[in-house]
Amino acid sequence: MRVWPDLLRFSNQMLRYQRMPEGLDHEIGRPAHRAMPDAYVTAHHLRDLLNAESHEKLLAWSSQPGLLPRAPSGPDRGKAWDRVGQQALEELSQDRDVDIRFSAQTELVRREWAACRGRARATNTIMKSAV
């Protein structure tokens, strides 16, 4: 979800068909939902993840709740978090689902950082013009 947030779904088999990992033999990966074929497909996804991000970052992410790329419910369902209204975001940050709560809280923190950077730039501009 963090590496390929634009994908429609994130199950093992959906990743297989959306990402089409290089070197994956379609027949070895069948039938789906069996131990060996699923492990084979997952190994290809892991290889691609390790090529995209460091193993340290992947391990750190694995200890956190899921960072959902889009709001999963309500009137903002399917919208990227940066397009969700402030009030809805604050409500979602109190959701019972840990992934929804974590994702909404992460966006609130991102917005606060953006606001702080904006205030710092404005202050810097004022200081320069005063000099």
> Residues of the chain with pLDDT > 70: what percent?
92
> For the residues 51-58, what does the mean pLDDT come to?
96
Mean pLDDT rounded to a whole number for the chain: 91
Is 91's pLDDT higher than 90?
yes
pLDDT digit string (tens) for 34-47?
999 999 999 999 99
Contact 68, 95 (CB under 8 A): no
Q: pLDDT value at position 123?
A: 66
Q: pLDDT value at position 121?
A: 72
Radius of gyration of the chain (CA): 20
In total, the chain counts a number of residues equal to 131
Give 85-128 as a 3 state SS string: CHHHHHHHCCCCCHHHHHHHHHHHHHHHHHHHHHHHHHHHHHHH
Q: pLDDT value at position 21?
A: 94
> For the residues 58-84, what does the mean pLDDT come to?
94
> Residues of the chain with pLDDT > 90: what percent?
80
Contact 46, 52 (CB under 8 A): no
